[in-house]
Structure 1
Amino acid sequence: MKNFYILLLLSYVSGILAQSSEMETKNIAHAEMKSASALINLAVNPNTLNYDITYHKLEFTVDPAVYFITGKVTTTYTALANINTITFDLANELLVSSVKKNGVSLSFIRNTNNELIITLPSTQTTGTSNTLEIMYSGAPPVNGFNAFTIQTRGNGSKTLYTLSEPFGARDWWPCKQDLNDKVNSIDVYITAPSQYISVSNGIEPASPVINGANKTTHFHHGYPIPAYLICMAVTDYTVYNQQAGLNTAASPYYPIINYIYPENYNTTLQTQLAETPQILNLYETLVGPYPFRNEKYGHAQFGWGGGMEHTTVSFMVGFGRSLIAHEMAHQWFGDKITCGTWKDIWLNEGITEYMSGMVVEKFDGNPSFTSWKSSKINSVTSQANGNLYLTDAQSTDVNRIFSSRLTYNKGAMVTNMIRLKMGDTNFFQALKNYLNDPALAYGYAITPQFQAHLEAVSGLSFTEFFNDWVYNQGYPTYTVMAQNWGAGQAKITINQTQSDPSVSYFEMPVPVQLMGSNGQTFDALLDNTTNGQEFIVSVPFSVTGVLFDPNKNIISKNNTSTLGTDTFELAKAIEIYPNPVSNELHIQMPSDITVLKITILNDLGQKVLGSKALDFTVSSLSSGVHFAQIETSEGTYYKKFIKK
């Protein structure tokens, strides 16, 4: 009895933790949705597609007490066509005072499309490079985008931060907002009143320089980065240093730098942050080295309600483990490799959410991980439909792009099912190969490229799997029946129905656990490809119980699993005739059994007829294998028949 209450308590605690984790996922999704909501419908500017930026030197002068920015942006670019002008994205509210090339002023114009159009002194030919210097200043637009924000905290301290995802960078500096162009490297110089600490991407090559009442802090980031991940924050931070790595030749230490509001810096926060290096080390073990090891990882507190995975420094509203794990995982899936289109957003968010689930698995153990997966499954199956890969129409709907149910939770569980299908060794090797693919690393990827890496490592075809789980909709409901089948064997029969007609059958490895009377268990992973499929497995004990998917590895709902002498005696007592049948099908049941419903299914598990009657006219059915799904007061049974 004592053990029962302990198990009950553990189950209760795991459930509470799963609910908490699910709420954090919704909060993360909501925050990321809000950061993109006002911007998502902005098209890529076609006037910026004729050049490739290779370098930015960004010099900003700001004061958290004043809503204003003064900047000088020096940009090196390569022409992708013969050009006489070059266009940058820049909010009209920001005033450009000069544009120069090699110290010589160039003419420029502004238009109503938030563009800066610069006339070059001569035609720049394809493949040649130029460097331009743009001086500007002004109050960034206040438009709900939150790209440039000044806030007053509860203690009166001023905070300045930026949040540019996906098209907000132009609100505070002249840039190219094309999501398909990553800048090879950047240098950021932030000049602010000397009492403040400034934050940006990368490392500080030297100590800040004091000049009167101001201080200039230099950051260098030497990895490709899109405009929306370039960031700045300035306030009276307390700096809390940590380190990650294993102090080995293969895993040397590298810095973790946390920028914390001083009023929040306490032992509780330090305890929360203590897991940061542990999670980094875990991720490195699972999917390979932290992508920006030569620089840093870190966090900076800001006032937005969630987090933002700026490269090398995640901006965070708080430090719950789920948020730390999610934003950190984005450094691999989102920052190192970015989804190539909004249709592929699950490559950023779904895989990242699953990475945070593996933190639960490794740190808290399998019962907690099972509860975590169960909460994801419950979310996904709360509705009968929903595709993972977005349609054209969905790719401009911010609510759908950042759907916690589909993009995050279904994406995470589809990733889990890929792991189930491949096995751990192949799964993690495929993730490593994907992240290290020279054609994708520090660039962009789309779903077929991810699929190709899964297939290359496993030798399996994922075409049907992706058709069912990524491109189409719904989930299966399983009925599993097992019985002892001679000495040392059991027979397991699997049937399936689907919640959405877009999928005819979910071909999946199905986990089944058989149990014996003395506490023995036997786990089988059955490759289920057709309805009514039977498996004979060797079991070293007499089977007394059966569980479907005990560790919650498959998206499914309302599953049943049955075993027992009485059950199988009843199954034998149910007769279906004639078989094969041409016109009239008859089902004979024991008189003491109540029939609730009978459904005729085709060989794909799709309903073709239904009734409570025991007699059917089946002349309209197509020829081939069918099943009678018989729901009774004693359980559900399946009988196979052939339609001539």
Structure 2
Amino acid sequence: MRSRTRAGIGAVAAGVATVLLAGTASAVPAPGSPGVGDPYYPNAGNGGTDVRHYDIRVSYQPETDVLSGSTTLLLTATQDLSRFDLDFALKASKVLVNNRPAQFANSNGDGELVITPAQPLLKGQSATVVVSYSDSPSTEKVGGLNAWKKGAFGALGVDEPQSAQWWFPSNDHPTDKATYDVSIEAPDGLAAITNGTLVKKTKKRAGWTRWNWRSTQPQATYLTSFIVGKYDVVQSTTPDGKPFITAYGSDLGDSLDAAKASVERTPEVDEFLASQFGPYPFEAEGGVVTSGITFSLENQTRPTYGARNFAAGSNTTLIAHENAHQWFGDNVSLGKWSDIWLNEGFASYAEYLWSEHEGEGTTAQLAQYAYDSYAADDPFWQVLPGNPGEPKQFDRAVYDRGAMALQALRTKVGDEAFFSILRQWQVEKAGKAAVIPDFVALAEKVSGKPLQDLFQTWLFTAGKPAVGPNGTVAAKAFAAAPAKPKAWDQIQANHRALAEAGRH
């Protein structure tokens, strides 16, 4: 999202602010920045606002690709604001701020909806912002890109790092998490699926059904999914009583049974992951399998899986990967997109943990096999998991070397401290965003060991790390792996699919 000059709107806002604040000592309200300054996506998110809740109420017709409705945002100003941005690619038709019409400028390919309220917002002031719109998501681009997916499968608002802009206005960065009510009306015979709990389904006009969903825990915008199409929706409960909702595209063909044999085991997988990381953090579980994407994404409470990931049979290592993100990425979100290791390294290590649980290779064997699989001169070792750069954000090194880094940490501090670190991370950062230095500090605090050199070596230094008593890691990082672990090929197939798609 690129910012653009809006001199006319700025002049109006400045004039209003001058009149309102004349004779006071207060600073003149200023425009909020168009982004939060993320090093990879500087204009992602918005400055000056903190969104607490989204109420999204839309109708969507796949045949015409028309999405119509409104989004209500409950937000708080974090500075005195003459105007503020929302990340939005579609064309707004009306904007209200605290029930008063506001001036606005739609995106011109930069993904920024710029709003000038009738009265400036003061720091700490709550505001209700209503944006009405009707547009075709597949026709709108941001920076030349379009993340909306439309086809015979229906439509998907599912992608990383951005997808929200193509269906609701937002503060689109993981550092601003909110709760959600999402109501999607779709033609009869189609399902409309998103996150959280299905509150109710209603019919208020012929030929259409409205699906109403609620997410009660803090949720990042890119983890909020829009899925409309022909799906078989299965509703049940987990053994501990949470809603468990899964959905399978009507076009999965021979992959349907393999998909079900994987996704329907989600409560079992989550129960195991909870034994490693601490209690499951959300109010619902589930998953959606679709032919509309080739990758998979950890949408909160209900990951979305590309059907191709089940073409060769069941794939519970992928279920472990995406559901590990419910802890690492969803409950604790990354503070900057350069901290992607906090998501992908941990989810990849969860595949190792699940494989050991299933008797298909221990974590040490898998880490050793990964280490041995890349020669010292392989370009793989030039990618830094702790800051891979935006073009390499989803490189296989972030997954594989990222998981090796965690095995090196485990070897260094011992099992008791290692798993205590993972569990305390979930407690201390629950519902928040964090950065890699936060994790390093916690690891040193819990273990009582200096760990800066270990993390510098594995996350931030190019080249294949040395292992062994006299290497850059204090103790030998991995156990010998004389044979390829059974889970290796499936894990690598998962990582290839994610890396090739350029998405999680």
TM-score clears 0.5: yes
Aligned to 1:401: 393
Aligned to 1:585: none
Contact 1:333–1:352 (8 Å) recurs in 2: yes
Aligned to 1:482: none
C-alpha separation between the residues in 2 aligned to 1:124 and 1:450?
36
Aligned to 1:123: 120
Contact 1:186–1:221 (8 Å) recurs in 2: yes
Flag the structure with higher helix content.
2
Unaligned runs of 5+ in 2: 1-37, 483-504
Gap change, CA 1:380 and 1:50, over 3 Å in 2:
farther
Contact 2:91–2:107 (8 Å) recurs in 1: no
Aligned to 2:103: 107
Match of 1:236 among 226, 230, 235: 230
Contact 2:182–2:194 (8 Å) recurs in 1: yes
Aligned to 1:354: 349
Deviation at 1:102, TM superposition (A): 4.8
Contact 1:205–1:219 (8 Å) recurs in 2: yes
Q: TM-score, normalised by structure 1?
A: 0.62
Letter in 2 for 1:224: P
1:425-574 residue pairs with structure 2 within 5 A? 425-437=416-428, 440-475=429-464, 496=470, 505-510=471-476, 549-551=479-481
Aligned to 1:69: 67
Percent same amino acid among aligned pairs?
A: 26
Deviation at 1:375, TM superposition (A): 3.5
Contact 2:341–2:386 (8 Å) recurs in 1: no
Gap change, CA 1:326 and 1:129, over 3 Å in 2:
same
Moved more, 197-206 or 294-303: 294-303
Contact 2:182–2:213 (8 Å) recurs in 1: yes
Counterpart secondary structure, 2:261: helix
Counterpart secondary structure, 2:279: coil
C-alpha separation between the residues in 1 aligned to 2:467 and 2:348?
26
Q: Are 2:288 and 1:289 aligned? A: no
Residue deviations 1:41-98 (CA, integer Å, cap 9, x gap): 642258x20111111111111022222211201111111111122222222xx33221
Deviation at 1:551, TM superposition (A): 4.8
Alignment length (residue pairs): 432
Gap change, CA 1:115 and 1:269, over 3 Å in 2:
closer
Aligned to 1:304: 293
Contact 1:148–1:171 (8 Å) recurs in 2: yes
Match of 1:166 among 152, 156, 161: 161
Letter in 1 for 2:270: L
- Give the superposed CA RMSD: 2.7
Counterpart secondary structure, 1:509: coil
Contact 2:411–2:475 (8 Å) recurs in 1: yes
Aligned to 1:208: 202
Counterpart secondary structure, 2:343: helix
Residue deviations 1:288-329 (CA, integer Å, cap 9, x gap): 11111x233333424111101111111111342222221111
C-alpha separation between the residues in 2 aligned to 1:235 and 1:419?
44
C-alpha separation between the residues in 1 aligned to 2:323 and 2:481?
26
C-alpha separation between the residues in 2 aligned to 1:79 and 1:87?
12
C-alpha separation between the residues in 2 aligned to 1:228 and 1:209?
29
C-alpha separation between the residues in 2 aligned to 1:330 and 1:454?
19
Q: Are 2:86 and 1:88 aligned? A: yes
Contact 2:252–2:291 (8 Å) recurs in 1: no
Q: Are 2:410 and 1:419 aligned? A: yes
Counterpart secondary structure, 1:66: coil
Contact 1:342–1:395 (8 Å) recurs in 2: no
Aligned to 2:51: 53
Deviation at 1:348, TM superposition (A): 0.7
Gap change, CA 1:469 and 1:103, over 3 Å in 2:
closer
C-alpha separation between the residues in 1 aligned to 2:335 and 2:467?
35
1:329-348 residue pairs with structure 2 within 5 A? 329-348=324-343
Gap change, CA 1:40 and 1:311, over 3 Å in 2:
farther
Moved more, 458-467 or 56-65: 458-467
Match of 2:243 among 235, 247, 255: 255
Aligned to 2:42: 43
Match of 2:382 among 383, 386, 402: 386
Task: Give the greater-gyration-radius structure (CA).
Answer: 1
Deviation at 1:411, TM superposition (A): 0.6
Aligned to 2:148: 148
Letter in 1 for 2:118: P
Contact 1:342–1:390 (8 Å) recurs in 2: no
C-alpha separation between the residues in 2 aligned to 1:418 and 1:87?
41
Counterpart secondary structure, 1:160: strand
C-alpha separation between the residues in 2 aligned to 1:259 and 1:145?
28
C-alpha separation between the residues in 2 aligned to 1:289 and 1:97?
44
C-alpha separation between the residues in 2 aligned to 1:322 and 1:41?
29
Contact 2:244–2:284 (8 Å) recurs in 1: no
C-alpha separation between the residues in 1 aligned to 2:184 and 2:450?
51
Gap change, CA 1:230 and 1:171, over 3 Å in 2:
same
Match of 2:211 among 211, 214, 217: 217
Gap change, CA 1:59 and 1:460, over 3 Å in 2:
same
Residue deviations 1:452-473 (CA, integer Å, cap 9, x gap): 2212222111122223222223
C-alpha separation between the residues in 1 aligned to 2:266 and 2:481?
27
Contact 1:309–1:315 (8 Å) recurs in 2: yes
Q: TM-score, normalised by structure 2?
A: 0.79
Flag the structure with higher strand content.
1
C-alpha separation between the residues in 1 aligned to 2:40 and 2:462?
25
Gap change, CA 1:116 and 1:269, over 3 Å in 2:
closer
Gap change, CA 1:211 and 1:147, over 3 Å in 2:
same
Aligned to 2:94: 98
C-alpha separation between the residues in 2 aligned to 1:269 and 1:429?
33
Contact 1:76–1:132 (8 Å) recurs in 2: yes
Counterpart secondary structure, 1:416: helix
Contact 1:169–1:175 (8 Å) recurs in 2: yes
C-alpha separation between the residues in 1 aligned to 2:126 and 2:187?
36
Contact 1:145–1:168 (8 Å) recurs in 2: no
